[in-house]
Structure 1
Amino acid sequence: MRRSRKTAALLSAATLVGTLVSTHSPVSGAAEATTYVVLADSAATVDGAIAAVEEAGGRVDRVNRAIGLVTASSSDTSFVAAVSANTDVAGVARDTPIGSTPADAAQRRDTVENEGRLDAAGGNGGNGSGDDGDGDEAAEPLAAFQWDMQMIGATPEGSYDEQPGRRDVLVGIIDTGIDGNHPDIAPNFNRDLSRNFTRDIELIDGDCADEPDQSCDDAADVDEDGHGTHVAGTVASPINGIGMAGVAPNVTLVNLRAGQDSGFFFLGPTVDALTYAGDNGIDVVNMSFFIDPWLYNCRNNSADSAAEQAEQATIIDATQRALDYARAHGVTLIAALGNEHQDLGAASKTDDISPDFPPGTERVRTVTNDCLDMPTEGNGVISVSAVGPSGKKSDFSNHGLEQNDVAAPGGFFRDFIGTPLNRRPENLILGPYPKAVALINE
């Protein structure tokens, strides 16, 4: 997580199995429109919510009918109030940043993601396909450095020999993308099912002309941040004589990109990824992020304005609807618990990074246990904390008696192994471990 946490909309609404429907209506007025997500009171009142957007002069960009979420654009400052007043609408929240960003805020990438990266050409001539699960697995070239896999018994003598996973098990990585051409990812990557629900935003992701593809529209096999590829490799890097192997090296990886290159995750792409997972047979999803702009979403925090409270309530409700939908369609939900070294079950705690949009507007506020880190604290989500090689809780990891379901390798600066190169200070790889375990036990 950006803790980092950190579309090319490649296909039309029909491709999303009827869940996402694109419509358009004129936007009155000005050039710089803000994008909002409008949560209908229920799935049955979506058309009423669409009408409310249009009556307020907004443009309907897309509709997620599975959970009743309308993504809309407007430059009218009265848009939120006008739409919120409609009885068919449960809430409205911003879905993209507004304002201007300092130049040094355009790239919020983590140096840990670039540590120890191998040149793709430096492989040793692997066979280009995952292991066939015949029990003859040999250690991968970098296996000696994988204290995490050794800790959980994901080794040739352990789970690889007993159950390395199955090809028909689909693993959805909701993150910054997956590099589907990476030699230690490609054999297990399903390009046909993969989707990108985002579009680069120059305000936070940097100039699109400077991108490797010189475009704001990334294909579904691209990860210009590296975080999602890292997570995918931890889950299911194949046994192929190249680099390392994941926890479940025979399962299939599906990119469900919801994160920006800069590590931000907005509500609309996140819920679209979750409903797509439900509609397309994904078995398990990993979520190593929180939904911006609020680290903790509070319905009734006196430190927040009425508009801010309404926005946070909308994030909670829309996310929970999407989680419920995915789970009802057979998706197991796993998320990292976070990197603030906080007890999420404490009666009160400090949030000093919200709201992180527009950049520079964050403030220190005290929040209660009623305030939720989404999607981690959503109902039905398996939340994962971090431990180091010694088994002690990682210095950065959140915890909480109510919230913490399981722990997984993450690193600890006081352990000899795990610092600095092998430490993952953002819970980057917490979710993938139990996720893969869930997969191979399907």
Structure 2
Amino acid sequence: MPSIERLLRKCATGGTACRASRHLIMFRNAGIYDRCLQELKKAGIQPAKSVAHHKLIAFHLNTAHMKRFRALLAHPDVHAIERDRTVSAHPGVPAARHVPNSNKRGQRQAAINAACPANAPWDVCQVQAPSLWPITRGSGVRVAILDTGIGPHPDLRVAGGVNTITGGSYRDNNGHGTHIAGTVAGLGTNGQQLGVAPNVSLYAVKVLDSNGTGYISDIVEGIHWCIRHKIKVINMSFGLQANSTILHAAIKLAYRSGIVLVASAGNSGPNNAALDAPARYPETIAVAASTRTYKIASYSSRGSGVDVAAPGTNIRSTWIGGGFKLLSGTSMASPHVTGGAALLRSRFAHLTPAEVASRLKKSARHLVGFSARSQGSGLIQLKRAATVTGTSIVSARARKSRKTSAK
């Protein structure tokens, strides 16, 4: 059998020629990965991307050499080969027409509004985030927004980040990532808008360009950056209809590393065949979009993998240029769950990703008239999620204090 280095060199081309397509190859061990990189370098072929921690090379395949490519596919040193497909942000959808509340729903919303701080939007209050703020606002938890970048914006404080597309600035040149960041971590300074977890350490991981698209390899590199920088919660408001073994492998590694992974379900409505990746992967918390009137939004993708719902319709949040914008979509729902997971991890640092997901699902409010395929366990309720075996977080803290003093 020819060496894997020679096979890869003969299959790869140095650029995006008319008969070239961008592929990913993931190796079984680091030594083979290093040897293949060296072989390509000697041949003067520059990979499109390489991710050492994933033993991954993105290269342009010369489709004139399909016989050699098939031999590469079958090589025992190869873990996976696939197209380096483009992934797209789940875009905002047009603002929904306001539907009046029924009396019962109107009373419920009035109660929420009465308990809502003046600069907290309705959606943040509907998921009960302000109920946890006397205890925690997310301090000590690193949250990464894998998206188009963040800001700058006066209502956001970005602790750091990375651009895996060009290696340049992680500043947002689209707006999608900034909108999501505001729902997670709006500071509320000078009377501006509060997010679900205002005190988290916010990181911008720019994996999508100004058009809201990026390659699988850009996202895989971003996930590995998060693992290395000890991120605790990741938001992913983007999707891919095709399956990706390599993206799933990165998701699995992040999950095993203790990261809570939150993903928007998609905006394909009730007739979609399946949830987008990565929301369909069991390691993620897949989020559907609900409305102010406690319904599942018509655009929200349905599927057996939906875990929970969160407000996604007519969500006002931060936007590039220092302003605010009203958007709808599962992209807007997902950051409520990301912020909620951060509050739980701030209060209960020992929680695993599975335990965070379990709390969010067990405490969710079922939305009447919608199936589990639409809403999963229901609308997240963070006050209820922060209870421990039916005991409030305040009494849990007191019990922990008594236990410590008794030692």
TM bracket, shorter-chain basis: 0.5 to 0.7
| Deviation of the 1:52 alpha carbon | 8.1
| Deviation of the 1:87 alpha carbon | 3.0
Letter in 1 for 2:301: N
| Deviation of the 1:342 alpha carbon | 3.3
Quote the Cα distance in structure 2 between the aligned partners of 1:162 and 1:34.
52
Mapping for residues 98-137 of structure 1, pairs under 5 Å: none
Quote the Cα distance in structure 2 between the aligned partners of 1:379 and 1:246.
27
| Deviation of the 1:173 alpha carbon | 0.3
**Does residue 81 of structure 2 align to residue 92 of structure 1?**
yes
Q: 1:62 to 1:271 in 2, by over 3 A?
A: same
**Does residue 20 of structure 2 align to residue 36 of structure 1?**
no
RMSD of equivalent CA atoms: 3.5
Quote the Cα distance in structure 2 between the aligned partners of 1:403 and 1:175.
22
Deviations 1:35-83 (A, max 9, x none): 4321224567534654786799853344323222112235564275464
The equivalent of 1:296 in structure 2 is 242
Contact 2:91/2:331 (8 A) holds in 1: no
SS at match of 1:383: strand
**Does residue 391 of structure 2 align to residue 391 of structure 1?**
no
Mapping for residues 176-191 of structure 1, pairs under 5 Å: 176-179=148-151, 181-185=152-156, 188-191=157-160
Deviations 1:335-390 (A, max 9, x none): 0111101366xxxx3xxxxxxxxxxxxxxxxxxx6xx7311112311111111011
Q: 1:276 to 1:31 in 2, by over 3 A?
A: closer
Unaligned runs of 5+ in 2: 1-8, 96-115, 316-323, 346-407
Unaligned runs of 5+ in 1: 1-24, 98-107, 114-136, 200-216, 298-314, 350-368, 414-420
Q: 1:341 to 1:109 in 2, by over 3 A?
A: closer
**Does residue 179 of structure 2 align to residue 230 of structure 1?**
yes
The equivalent of 1:404 in structure 2 is 306
Contact 1:286/1:431 (8 A) holds in 2: yes
The equivalent of 1:161 in structure 2 is 134
**Does residue 241 of structure 2 align to residue 274 of structure 1?**
no
Letter in 2 for 1:325: L
Contact 1:153/1:159 (8 A) holds in 2: yes
SS at match of 1:404: coil
Quote the Cα distance in structure 2 between the aligned partners of 1:426 and 1:46.
40
Quote the Cα distance in structure 2 between the aligned partners of 1:378 and 1:58.
34
SS at match of 2:333: coil
The equivalent of 1:124 in structure 2 is none
Letter in 2 for 1:153: Q
The equivalent of 1:245 in structure 2 is 194
Quote the Cα distance in structure 2 between the aligned partners of 1:250 and 1:380.
26
Letter in 1 for 2:192: G
Mapping for residues 367-378 of structure 1, pairs under 5 Å: 373-378=276-281
The equivalent of 1:78 in structure 2 is 65
Deviations 1:203-246 (A, max 9, x none): xxxxxxxxxxxxxx7412x1010000000010001121243110
Quote the Cα distance in structure 2 between the aligned partners of 1:381 and 1:223.
25
| 323, 328, 331: which one aligns with 2:251 | 323
Counting aligned pairs with the same residue, the percent is 27
Q: 1:42 to 1:387 in 2, by over 3 A?
A: farther
The equivalent of 2:367 in structure 1 is none
| 154, 159, 162: which one aligns with 1:195 | 162
Letter in 1 for 2:83: R
The equivalent of 2:102 in structure 1 is none
| 151, 159, 171: which one aligns with 2:126 | 151
Mapping for residues 168-179 of structure 1, pairs under 5 Å: 168-179=140-151
The equivalent of 1:100 in structure 2 is none
SS at match of 2:238: coil
Contact 1:176/1:263 (8 A) holds in 2: yes
**Does residue 335 of structure 2 align to residue 432 of structure 1?**
yes
Quote the Cα distance in structure 2 between the aligned partners of 1:171 and 1:276.
12
| Deviation of the 1:29 alpha carbon | 6.6
Quote the Cα distance in structure 1 between the aligned partners of 2:43 and 2:80.
14
Letter in 1 for 2:294: G
The equivalent of 2:209 in structure 1 is 260
With structure 1 as the length reference, what TM-score do the two structures score? 0.60
Q: Which protein has the larger Cα radius of gyration, Structure 1 or Structure 2?
A: 2
With structure 2 as the length reference, what TM-score do the two structures score? 0.65
Quote the Cα distance in structure 2 between the aligned partners of 1:28 and 1:72.
8
Quote the Cα distance in structure 2 between the aligned partners of 1:43 and 1:391.
50
| Deviation of the 1:391 alpha carbon | 0.9
Quote the Cα distance in structure 1 between the aligned partners of 2:13 and 2:267.
42
Contact 1:52/1:83 (8 A) holds in 2: no
The equivalent of 1:302 in structure 2 is none
Q: 1:29 to 1:264 in 2, by over 3 A?
A: closer
Deviations 1:8-58 (A, max 9, x none): xxxxxxxxxxxxxxxxx9976766465432122456753465478679985
Contact 2:179/2:325 (8 A) holds in 1: no
Contact 1:46/1:88 (8 A) holds in 2: no
Q: 1:322 to 1:383 in 2, by over 3 A?
A: same
